[in-house]
Every structure is written in C-alpha cells, then in structure tokens.
Amino acid sequence: MRSSVCPLDCPDTCAVLVSVEDGRAVELRGHPDHPVTRGFLCAKVARYLERQYSPQRLLFPQRRTGSKGEGRFARITWDEALEEIAGRLQAIAARYGPAAILPYSYAGTMGLLNGAGMDRRFFYRLGASRLDRTICSSAGTAALNHTYGYRYGTEPEQFRDARLILAWGVNIRGCNVHLWPFIAEARRRGARFYTIDPVKNRTGASADRHYFVHPGSDAALALGLMHVLVAEKLYDADYVARHTTGFEALCRLLRDYPPARAAELTGLSAEDIAGLAREYAGTRPAVIRSGYGVQRSEGGGLAVRTIALLPVLTGAWRQRGGGFLLSPSGAFHLNRQALERPDLQAASPLGREARLVNMTQLGRALTELDDPPVKALVVYNSNPAAIAPDQNRVLAGLGREDLFTVVLEQLQTDTADYADILLPATTFLEHTDLYTSYGHYYLQMARPAVAPEGEAKSNVEVFRLLARKLGFAEPCFEDSEHDMIRALLDSSHPFVRGITLDELEQRGFVRLRLPEPFLPFQDGGFGTPSGKLDLETAVRPYEPPRESRRGDEALRAGYPLELISLKSDAGLNSTFGNRPEVDAETSLVWIRPEDAAPRGIRSGDAVRVFNQRGGCRLEARLEAVTAPGVVATRSVRWNKHSPEGRNINQVTSDRLTDVGAGATFYSCLVEVEKCEN
Ligand SMILES: Nc1nc2c(c(=O)[nH]1)N[C@H]1C(S)=C(S)[C@@H](COP(=O)(O)OP(=O)(O)OC[C@H]3O[C@@H](n4cnc5c(=O)[nH]c(N)nc54)[C@H](O)[C@@H]3O)O[C@H]1N2
Ligand SMILES: Nc1nc2c(c(=O)[nH]1)N[C@H]1C(S)=C(S)[C@@H](COP(=O)(O)OP(=O)(O)OC[C@H]3O[C@@H](n4cnc5c(=O)[nH]c(N)nc54)[C@H](O)[C@@H]3O)O[C@H]1N2
Ligand SMILES: [Mo]
C-alpha cells in the first residue's frame, strides 16, 4: 500500500491509498486517517485506474503528420522531440525575441512542482511571455485579498458545528463532495442548509430551501441582506466597532438597497430577503460556503467582496463553525519564489520581466498580439481548445500554420490534436509532488506509486531536459524533486515553519501549524495595515453584468436567454471528457418549460445554443431547474465528441471580471432554437 494525493483541480485534494501488485496499481482508496478525505473517494477518481491504464494513454513522443487539428501523428524518440523543440524555440527567440514564446498551463495537476516549478524556472530563464492564470479564480482571489487581506476561511471540519449553512454559488455535491458529510452531520444535529444559485443542481435539490438568483446579481443580494441587518439593528455592533472602519459609508450605500429594490435586482422576493437576513443574523454559528461559480461573472469581484462582509457584520467569525469559506489556500505560506525563481528573468536575453498575457484571452493573444506575435505555444496541464472562452478565436489561433505548438498530455485531447510535437505526460501515480489545497488546511506530498507507462515523463523532467538542451547553466535546473520541495518549505511563516520533507514523507499529510480550532478572524486581525477591515472600500454600487438580461441593450438584442455552463458532476473540467457518462452529461441543455414552449422545443429535441460568437448543438431537457430566462449546461465536453466538433465555449465570452482580470464564463447571453435535422 502506497500513499498518494489526488492532483485534480478540486478543493478536496484527497489523500489516496494505492494498492500495488507486481508494479501495477490495482486499487485506489481514500485515506481513512485524512480528516477531510475520511476514507472515501469521489466516483470519478475511484475509477482513475481506468485512465492510468487506458489504451488511450499517450505513451511516446510524436510529431504531427496531418494538418493542424486533425490529430494525425508519427512516433519519434525523446531526443528527436527535445532537439526539435529546443531548435525551434531558439530560432523563434532569435528572430522575434523570447516574448514570442507563450507557456499555457493551468491546474490539470495541482502539484506545485509539476504545475508551477521547473516550468516556471524554464520560461523565466528563457524570457518567454508570462501567463496570467485567470481562467478560474482570479476575481475571487483578488476580492479576498482586498477585503480580508488574507485568503483564509472556515475550516471544512467546523461545518459540522454550524446551525445554518448557506451554499452560495457552489455545487458541493458535485465539486466539493468531501465537505458534504460535515454538512450532513450538522443537519442531523438540526442545522438548516440553504442554496443560492441560478441553477438548482444536486446540491440545491438536497437543500432545505433553494433561492433562485439572477446570474451575476449576488452583490445586490448581499447588499439587500446587509440593509436589513443594519435597518433592524441585527448586526454585531461590538465586532463592527472593534474590527472595521468605514461603517458610516457602508450604511449610506445600503440605503439604496431596501429589500424591494434588492428583490428587483436579484429575482428573490422582498420577504425572502428580509427573512433570510433575520435568520442569518439570528442563528449561531452561521457559515457561508461560496464556490467559484459566484465570481465567474462580470461583477464577480464585487460579489465576493460583499458576501464576505456578511459574517463581519454579524460577527459570525467569532464562533467555531461560523464565518465564510471561499478558499483557505492563502494559508499555505510556502516559499514560492524559491520554487519558481522569477529572479531568473534577469538572466534571460530580455533581461527583465516579460509581458503578461491573460490566459482567458488566448484567442486574442494568438490572433491579434503583435510586437512580438506569439510564434510558439507550450501547453501543459490544460486543454485550451476545449476549455477557453470565445472558442472560434482560440481555434483560429491554434490552427495557424506559423504557430509552433508543443503539448504535454496524458490523452489525445482537442488541444493535443493541434500539436506540432506531442509529449506523453506522467500521471500523479508516476511522479513526485507537493500539494496545497483550496478546500482544507493539509499540506501533502506524494511519491511515485508505480513506474511511468510507456515513455511518459513528468513536466518537471521535460523542462529539466529542455533547459539542458538550451544550455541553461544555473544549478537550479538540475534540482531534484526533493530539492524543490525543500526550497518550498524554506519559509519562516509560522503556519509552515518546521514542517520538513521527512515529516511529509512519513505522514503524507500534515496540518498547517494552525491553532485548533482555527478561527482566523475571531478577534479581527485582518491582513490590512491597521488589522481592521475597511467597509467603505470593500463595496461599491451594484451594476448588472453588461452581458445579462438586465445589462447592455445592444448585447441583449437577439440573445434573450442567459447561459450557465456549470461544472459536470461526473467529470472534472475536460479531464474525463473521454468517458461516455461525462459526454452524456455534457451533451444536455436544461431549459424551463415556459422558455421552451414559445420556441417549439420539447424534451429530447436537438437544439442549437448560439450567439454572435458561435454555437453548438445539444439535447434539450425541459425542467424548471434554472431561474426564469436562464438555461444551463454542464461543462466541459470534448469538441471532438460534439456535433460539428464544437462545444459550449463557442458562445462564452472572453470579457474580464471587474477585478482580477478573470474569466466571465457565467455572464453569457444566448438564443436557443430547435434544429431542423
Ligand atoms: N465534479 C466536478 N468537480 C469539480 C470540477 C468539475 O468540473 N467537476 N471542477 C473543479 C474546478 S476547476 C472548480 S473551479 C471547482 C468549482 O466548484 P464550484 O464553484 O462549486 O462549481 P461551479 O460549477 O463552477 O459553480 C458553482 C455553482 O455556481 C453557480 N453560479 C453560476 N453563476 C452564478 C451566479 O451568478 N450567482 C450564484 N449565486 N451562483 C452562480 C452555478 O450554477 C453552480 O451551481 O470545482 C472543482 N471540482
Ligand atoms: N464553459 C465553461 N468553461 C470552463 C469552465 C466552466 O465552468 N464553463 N470552467 C473553467 C475553469 S474554472 C477551469 S479551472 C478551466 C480548467 O481548464 P483546464 O485547466 O484546461 O483543465 P482540464 O480541462 O481538466 O484539463 C487539464 C489537462 O491537464 C492534463 N494533465 C493532468 N495532469 C497532468 C500532468 O501532470 N502533466 C501534463 N502535462 N498534463 C496533465 C489532463 O490530462 C487534462 O487534459 O476550465 C474553464 N472552462
Ligand atoms: Mo476552476
């Protein structure tokens, strides 16, 4: 039995036990001793070995023989592949400058070494364009950093102590399943559980109450709730006085958000808003769990900032089991500089920090950027052909004959089809890594449980070899995985001080050095110069997303429905898009009967979901599981399994959030029509 860690982009970051027989992994189980994994795995990862030993695994380096996107390749050796990559990158850097090279990666693995380790060192030293990794969470991250000063949140284990739990824009039963047992325990002890979401997903269906909210209107709802808290004097005046500034200014703003106005803006009734505010203030402990769904719209930053003020006004931070959880990931105060080595930029031919390219706008970067244009793209831990918004532009860019594209992958994804050189990547069972989490406070390390399949190599190893080919002489390029972990642990922050490689090796998972229980803002202590939270600068007036039914008239014209392409329960972004059950789940679009009827759409019909950017075909399901005027689909389907080779990111926009320059997948206007054939 070996211990490992699930590397997927998920808040749960489970500790995994691997049974190995004759060098082959034969069973995966959740670690029984990990306080959040608690002995079980989600349905998708319990079956990960199907992927590990799938006939679809990429096993050898390959060179493209067909046209871009066609997916025809021929096997080459590692040395041929690395020679060609090094030669092409060098030639491009010489002709256009190194900024013409763009890395593209996200959280295919959340392991720090393979996700933000040797790769970062390599691209910094090369002088490549830097990638702004905004596709998921940057609005919420910026919002928490701005409001609280720290990205800390309520411990998941404390949810069992809550008496009222609000799941606000989060699909716990689909995307955060290891939080669910704590909520179930709280409910057995009498807690109430409510959901606030434009879509009634599995989590909403299991709630005591579901509140349908207009997409992107959460800030207005939070302001309406705060209006009631203040008007009825339900707030914790002592906490507010001691730990905040700017209360008067907040009160002035709140005057504009009485329940009747908040109701108009959000779609909840005024009675529901007043009732929810009273119940929230009157129940101790009360905790809010938000997911990243709530910040994936144009005003996503303000949404998180205003929601985050609710437990400040009520003093819910005082109690174990109270507060707010978006992400605790800011507590992992590791030495990221020592791992990533941004100082290497000074040694690059550029000699300074290179330009920053926003990953959410990849299509623009590949088709519009000049000075220099992007001439080489190196993709790992991501599948942009399927997951990036404004897909027509992305595919036009990836299809450029003059773009040299390298893809490091486990499977033949839509992006792999566009590679010039395609390299086989290891899985988490085959390489060493260190894992933080965005759902709990345990640091974890995993060593290989089995040898790589075929000729697969880890990202760390590939960038180490490329650095050698390019003659990078800095000793950090020869660092072992253990060297890199030691560099990360070299931090003087009290939360990680004293955690060693030995301790991680022995135990697999280690709780950060936090008080037990961890009550981050029990006594204020916000990460601001004064330690107080400034209520005045945290908020501003609410504006609906421009791309919404209450937004810009020109954008609305012709596309009267709002689309939420929330995550699939069976899948994980596009990672498991090769599985039939994920493909089936992501082939549907849910539409309310009253929105379907005028369009002549019946359940089971093939429909086209489209707007000015593009369109795709899905199968209609008539059910009232969305707010009126909202349609929903699950993401992210593989293009190559979709009719016409196009998925839902045909219609999503590359507009950015109010803060954090994040993606706005959930501010998206569409029309739906029945397909004639
Ligand atoms: N099974 C599964 N698990 C996953 C993933 C997956 O694809 N599948 N993906 C992983 C990743 S990358 C992430 S970022 C997390 C995301 O985890 P979550 O944030 O829980 O998931 P999302 O589906 O992004 O969004 C959550 C909910 O937000 C709702 N929502 C959308 N817009 C709004 C809005 O304006 N207001 C409100 N109140 N709600 C809104 C959606 O309808 C959805 O039900 O999950 C991770 N875990
Ligand atoms: N319409 C719509 N689009 C969305 C979203 C949405 O809700 N709706 N969600 C967005 C969000 S929140 C996110 S985070 C992004 C996610 O988008 P991505 O980060 O691209 O995530 P995945 O689609 O899961 O693709 C990850 C890829 O990394 C590969 N991989 C895994 N481990 C390794 C490794 O060790 N080495 C290498 N080289 N490769 C590896 C996997 O095989 C997989 O193909 O999608 C975004 N796109
Ligand atoms: Mo994400």
What CATH number does residue 254 fall under? 3.40.228.10
Nearest CA to ligand 1 atom 22: 293
Final residue belonging to a domain, choices 511, 541, 566: 511
For residue 135, how far is its CA from the centre of ligand 2 (angstroms)? 10
**What is residue 238's predicted lDDT score, i.e. its pLDDT?**
98
| Domain assignment of residue 539, yes or no | no
Instruction: pLDDT band for 567, please (50, 70, 90 cuts).
Output: very high
Report the alpha-carbon angle 521-523-524, nearest 5. Answer: 60
- Closest ligand (CA of 382): 2
User: pLDDT above 70 covers what percent of the chain?
Assistant: 100
Are residues 577 and 589 located together in one domain of the fold?
Answer: yes
For residue 569, how far is its CA from the centre of ligand 1 (angstroms)? 10
| Domain assignment of residue 593, yes or no | yes
Are residues 405 and 363 located together in one domain of the fold?
Answer: yes
For residue 490, how far is its CA from the centre of ligand 3 (angstroms)? 28
Q: Residue 420 corresponds to which tokens in the numbers above?
A: 């010039």
Short-list 659, 647, 627, 676, CA closest to 215: 627
Quick one: angle between helices 259-266 and 270-282, nearest 10?
110
Between the alpha carbon of residue 96 and those of residues 90, 122, 124, 357, 403, the distances in Å are 10, 18, 17, 16, 13
Please write the tens of the pLDDT for every residue from 263-308: 999 999 999 999 999 999 999 999 999 999 999 999 999 999 999 9
Instruction: Report the pocket of ligand 2 as residue ranges, CB < 6 Å.
Output: 9, 106-109, 114, 135-136, 380-383, 387, 408-411, 413, 425, 459, 565-567, 572-575, 635-636, 648-649, 652, 665
Final residue belonging to a domain, choices 481, 511, 541: 511
Nearest CA to ligand 2 atom 37: 381
For residue 252, how far is its CA from the centre of ligand 1 (angstroms)? 33
| Domain assignment of residue 540, yes or no | no
- Closest ligand (CA of 119): 2
Q: Is the pLDDT of residue 142 over 80?
A: yes
| Domain assignment of residue 319, yes or no | yes
Are residues 455 and 422 located together in one domain of the fold?
Answer: yes
Q: Residue 433 corresponds to which tokens in the numbers above?
A: 């890594």
**What is residue 304's predicted lDDT score, i.e. its pLDDT?**
98
Are residues 74 and 113 located together in one domain of the fold?
Answer: yes
Peptide bond before residue 517 is cis, with ω within 30 degrees of 0: yes
| Domain assignment of residue 536, yes or no | no
Section 59-76 average pLDDT: 97
**What is residue 494's predicted lDDT score, i.e. its pLDDT?**
98
- Domain hosting residue 24, numbered range: 2-52
CATH of the domain at 655: 2.40.40.20
Instruction: pLDDT band for 671, please (50, 70, 90 cuts).
Output: very high
Are residues 98 and 158 located together in one domain of the fold?
Answer: no
Question: Cβ neighbours of residue 581 under 8 Å, at least 6 residues apart?
Answer: 570
**What is residue 110's predicted lDDT score, i.e. its pLDDT?**
98
What is the SS3 string spanning 131-142? EECCCCCHHHHH
Please write the tens of the pLDDT for every residue from 614-670: 999 999 999 999 999 999 999 999 999 999 999 999 999 999 999 999 999 999 999
Please write the tens of the pLDDT for every residue from 430-487: 999 999 999 999 999 999 999 999 999 999 999 999 999 999 999 999 999 999 999 9
Q: Residue 642 corresponds to which tokens in the numbers above?
A: 């979709």
β-pair partners for 424: 409
Final residue belonging to a domain, choices 459, 484, 511: 511
- Closest ligand (CA of 11): 1
| Domain assignment of residue 436, yes or no | yes
Are residues 253 and 289 located together in one domain of the fold?
Answer: yes
Are residues 172 and 90 located together in one domain of the fold?
Answer: no
Between the alpha carbon of residue 488 and those of residues 107, 121, 342, 491, the distances in Å are 18, 14, 14, 7
Are residues 375 and 481 located together in one domain of the fold?
Answer: yes
β-pair partners for 630: 562
For residue 169, how far is its CA from the centre of ligand 1 (angstroms)? 7
Q: Would you say 327 and 11 are in contact if contact means Cβ atoms under 8 Å apart?
A: yes
Short-list 347, 357, 353, CA closest to 378: 357
| Domain assignment of residue 181, yes or no | yes
Are residues 155 and 272 located together in one domain of the fold?
Answer: yes
Please write the tens of the pLDDT for every residue from 508-535: 999 999 999 999 999 999 999 999 999 9
**What is residue 162's predicted lDDT score, i.e. its pLDDT?**
98
What number of CA atoms fall less than 13 Å from residue 409's CA on the CB side? 27
Instruction: pLDDT band for 124, please (50, 70, 90 cuts).
Output: very high
Q: Would you say 414 and 447 are in contact if contact means Cβ atoms under 8 Å apart?
A: no
**What is residue 3's predicted lDDT score, i.e. its pLDDT?**
96
CATH of the domain at 110: 3.40.50.740
Q: Would you say 53 and 417 are in contact if contact means Cβ atoms under 8 Å apart?
A: no
Are residues 429 and 473 located together in one domain of the fold?
Answer: yes
Ligand 2, atom nearest to 577 Cα: 23
| Domain assignment of residue 343, yes or no | no
Is 571 a pocket residue for ligand 1 (Cβ < 6 Å)? yes
Q: Is the pLDDT of residue 677 over 90?
A: no
Ligand 1, atom nearest to 221 Cα: 38
Ligand 2, atom nearest to 411 Cα: 42
Are residues 164 and 276 located together in one domain of the fold?
Answer: yes
Q: What's the number of domains the chain is made of?
A: 4
For residue 537, how far is its CA from the centre of ligand 1 (angstroms)? 27
- Closest ligand (CA of 9): 1
Ligand 1, atom nearest to 44 Cα: 1
Please write the tens of the pLDDT for every residue from 342-376: 999 999 999 999 999 999 999 999 999 999 999 99
Q: Is the pLDDT of residue 676 over 90?
A: no
Are residues 186 and 41 located together in one domain of the fold?
Answer: no
CATH of the domain at 7: 2.20.25.90
| DSSP code per residue over 524-588 | ---SSTTSSEEHHHH-------SSSTTS-HHHHTT--EEEEEEEPSSS-TTTTTTSHHHHHHTTE
For residue 406, how far is its CA from the centre of ligand 1 (angstroms)? 30
Is 171 a pocket residue for ligand 1 (Cβ < 6 Å)? yes
**What is residue 341's predicted lDDT score, i.e. its pLDDT?**
98
Nearest CA to ligand 2 atom 39: 381
Is residue 517 packed enough to be buried (19+ CB in 10 Å), middle (13-18) or exposed (0-12)?
A: middle
Please write the tens of the pLDDT for every residue from 390-445: 999 999 999 999 999 999 999 999 999 999 999 999 999 999 999 999 999 999 99
